[in-house]
Chains A and B, each alone.
Chain A
């Protein structure tokens, strides 16, 4: 009887730590995947949601080109009328043509100011969105660090990216007023907003790290942009090296 108790005790002593370790492994894995999934979801959702109003603004900005062309035509007509009036010595017609020309030039300057303002606002909106998402993920990482500090040592670091620029090119026509703006080649790729961060975790037992030697480390991120469609612009998520690890098609 004594022997049997001893045998059972050895079994328990042997298996209980292994069982506990196995259960810990599952919790460790869960604690490792949860912040990754949550941060990726925040990044993707925020990008798509907040790029939507920006896409409307960009559409309005590009539509200003129609007004640019229309004012160029009016200006060319006014200049032609002025030249004809001067050539034919019609003072009254020349004065009217001159007033018309000055009026068109004033409209063009107003339009140029409107374009600059819209361009600056778009750039600012894109940069604000980039910072907003980075801040949100940094907050989530801090929250997760505090929430899991009893059992895990989780550390997250945002890799703050360089400020994004609006991927449009000005097409100027000398002496014809404000430029038209066209999208750069590969617009969706050039306009991409990259948000990236690192995550690191190792397990703790009563406040002490037990797996310091091999903490799990994962770079992560998401990329969003705008795609031109027939009716305007559409927010999209771009494929990047974090989309599905081990992918070979990523840029």
Chain B
């Protein structure tokens, strides 16, 4: 096989690997960024539910805010649960390339012990 042919085969193997690597890297970075913002928003949703007067729909506000930053992703579910000692917010985000983000935030109650 000529040197040119060998180089062509090597490139044909290396190119997809490089593209997959680069895409994965940027997908990871993108997920991290979305995850940071979404966690922050979920925590704010938990606080929002403890406010006075009770806002009409904190879940909807959080949903809208997360959807605004997702761009290529899709918010599948956003849930809120509360008992006497803790409130919990969870969200599932479907990202491009079949990636999923499972987000979870909790708040220790009563609110006088606001947790970070």
Is A45 engaged at the interface, CB distance under 8 Å to the other chain? Answer: yes
Is A141 engaged at the interface, CB distance under 8 Å to the other chain? Answer: no
Is A211 engaged at the interface, CB distance under 8 Å to the other chain? Answer: no
Is A3 engaged at the interface, CB distance under 8 Å to the other chain? Answer: yes
Q: Which of B22, B32, B68, B112 interacts with A26 by CB under 8 Å? A: B32
Q: A246-B61, A246-B65, A249-B55 are in contact. Are A41 and B44 (CB under 8 A)?
A: no
| 17 more CB-based (< 8 A) A-B contacts, given A4-B10, A15-B22 | A3-B7, A22-B25, A26-B29, A26-B33, A41-B116, A44-B47, A45-B112, A45-B113, A49-B112, A52-B112, A188-B52, A237-B50, A243-B51, A243-B55, A244-B44, A246-B65, A249-B55
A41 touches B114 (CB 8 A): yes
A237 touches B111 (CB 8 A): yes
- How far is A245 from B61 in the complex, measured between Cα atoms in Å? 9
Q: Which residues of A contact B91 (CB under 8 A)?
A: none
Is A206 engaged at the interface, CB distance under 8 Å to the other chain? Answer: no
Is A236 engaged at the interface, CB distance under 8 Å to the other chain? Answer: yes
Q: A41-B114, A246-B65 are in contact. Are A22 and B26 (CB under 8 A)?
A: yes
- How far is A242 from B4 in the complex, measured between Cα atoms in Å? 63
* Number of CB contacts from chain A to chain B under 8 A: 85
| A1-52 with Cβ < 8 A to chain B | 1, 3-4, 7, 11, 15, 19, 22-23, 25-26, 29-30, 33, 36-38, 41, 44-45, 48-49, 52
- How far is A26 from B27 in the complex, measured between Cα atoms in Å? 12
Q: Which residues of A contact B55 (CB under 8 A)?
A: 239, 243-244, 247, 249
Q: Which residues of B contact A3 (CB under 8 A)?
A: 7
Q: Which residues of B contact A245 (CB under 8 A)?
A: 65
- How far is A245 from B41 in the complex, measured between Cα atoms in Å? 9
A22 touches B51 (CB 8 A): no
12 intermolecular pairs with C-beta atoms under 8 Å apart: A29-B36, A44-B111, A44-B114, A237-B50, A237-B51, A237-B111, A243-B51, A244-B45, A244-B55, A244-B58, A244-B65, A246-B65
Identify the A interface with B (CB < 8 A). 1, 3-4, 7, 11, 15, 19, 22-23, 25-26, 29-30, 33, 36-38, 41, 44-45, 48-49, 52, 188, 225, 227, 235-239, 243-247, 249
Q: Which residues of A contact B33 (CB under 8 A)?
A: 25-26, 29
Select from chain A the residue with minimum beta-carbon distance to B41. A244
Select from chain B the residue with minimum beta-carbon distance to A246. B65
Q: Which residues of A contact B93 (CB under 8 A)?
A: none
Select from chain A the residue with minimum beta-carbon distance to B113. A45
Q: Which residues of A contact B68 (CB under 8 A)?
A: 246
- How far is A237 from B3 in the complex, measured between Cα atoms in Å? 73
Q: Which residues of A contact B47 (CB under 8 A)?
A: 44, 237, 243
Interface centre among A1, A44, A244 (most CB of B within 10 A): A244
- Sort A-B residue pairs by CB-CB distance and give the 6 closest, nearest first: A48-B112, A236-B52, A22-B29, A239-B51, A45-B114, A44-B114
